[in-house]
Amino acid sequence: MSRSLSTIARWLKRLVVGLLGLLLLYQLWLFGWVLWWSSANPETTRFMEIRLGELQLRDPGAQLRKQWVGYGKISNHLKRALIVAEDDLFVHHEGFDWDGMQKALEKNRLRGKVVAGGSTISQQLSKNLFLTPSKTPWRKAQEALITLMIEAVWSKQRIFEVYLNVIEWGDGVFGAEAAARHYYGISAAQLSAEQAARLAAMVPSPRFYDRQRNAPGLFAKAQVILARMPSAQIP
């Protein structure tokens, strides 16, 4: 009996070591992409692949609307609006806004449901590049690890440039250039302060606001963002 238990223990040990090895290899694979994308522009993201799959279930010929543009070709109004709306301490933190997370947890506790996330721009980018929209503990842990990788290798300007080009802004619409053309028929460089504030207000629920462009509350949210934009610090 003891010999059988010893054999099982050896195989369990090998299994654990093997799984840890696979996990390490996966992290190294992710870090390799992070290193590559520090200078090369991502052609697609995990989030884009998921949305494209959903669109093609309804229409097999569907394609995403996206167009990469450099950091200097995106309106500073939009940069300020997104900093204000999504992560006003972006240039100061190292990937995580601990005070923001605490406030979000408290707000969720008081409401009895999830109404605030507290994720930084770096965390949102990590999720969009590599992960699914699920909110499992594993996904959150992996998001944190990728955030640390990105913050260690990329400059704040590079993080923000990639973020501006890959975030979702409507049904099949990704990135600042596609959003500006989709909603206003202009380039991302031409966005006014008011237009930028409205786009930033849409980010938490972009597909909903794409369908409901006069939704109650959108104008009010945009006005709050607009009023705070002069104080925003951008990389």
Supply the pLDDT for residue 194.
Answer: 97
Give tens-digit pLDDT for 40-87. 999 999 999 999 999 999 999 999 999 999 999 999 999 999 999 999
- Domain spans in the chain, listed from the N-terminal domain onward: 1-36, 42-231
pLDDT for 97: 82
Q: Is the pTM of this model over 0.75?
A: yes
SS3 187: coil
- Count, residues in the chain: 235
In this predicted model, what pLDDT tens digit does every residue of 137-190 receive, in sequence order?
889 999 999 999 999 999 999 999 999 999 999 999 999 999 999 999 999 999
Task: Decide if pLDDT at 90 tops 90.
Answer: yes
Token pair listed for 162: 């990639």
pLDDT for position 113? 52
Exposed e or buried b per residue across 48-61, where buried means at least 16 C-beta atoms within 10 angstroms of its C-beta: beebbeebeeeeee
**CATH class for the region spanning 42-231:** mainly alpha
Confidence of residue 8 (pLDDT cuts 50, 70, 90): confident
Distance CA 199, CA 24 (A): 39
